[in-house]
Amino acid sequence: MKSLFYVCLCSIVIALPACESVKPYQRAYLNDHEMQPGQSGALRFDDQVQAYREASSGGGSSKVSGGCGCN
Q: Which amino acid is at 33?
A: H
- DSSP assignment of 45-56 equals HHHHHHHHHSS-
Minimum CB separation of residue 38 from another protein in Å reads: 8
Is residue 9 a contact point for another protein (CB under 8 A)? no
**Count of residues that bind another protein according to CB under 8 A:** 52
User: Could you tell me if residue 67 is left (phi over 0), alpha (psi between -120 and 50 degrees) or otherwise beta?
Assistant: left
Binding footprint of another protein on the chain (CB under 8 A): 1, 3-4, 7-8, 11-12, 15-16, 18-22, 26-27, 29-30, 32-38, 40-46, 49-50, 52-62, 64-68, 70-71
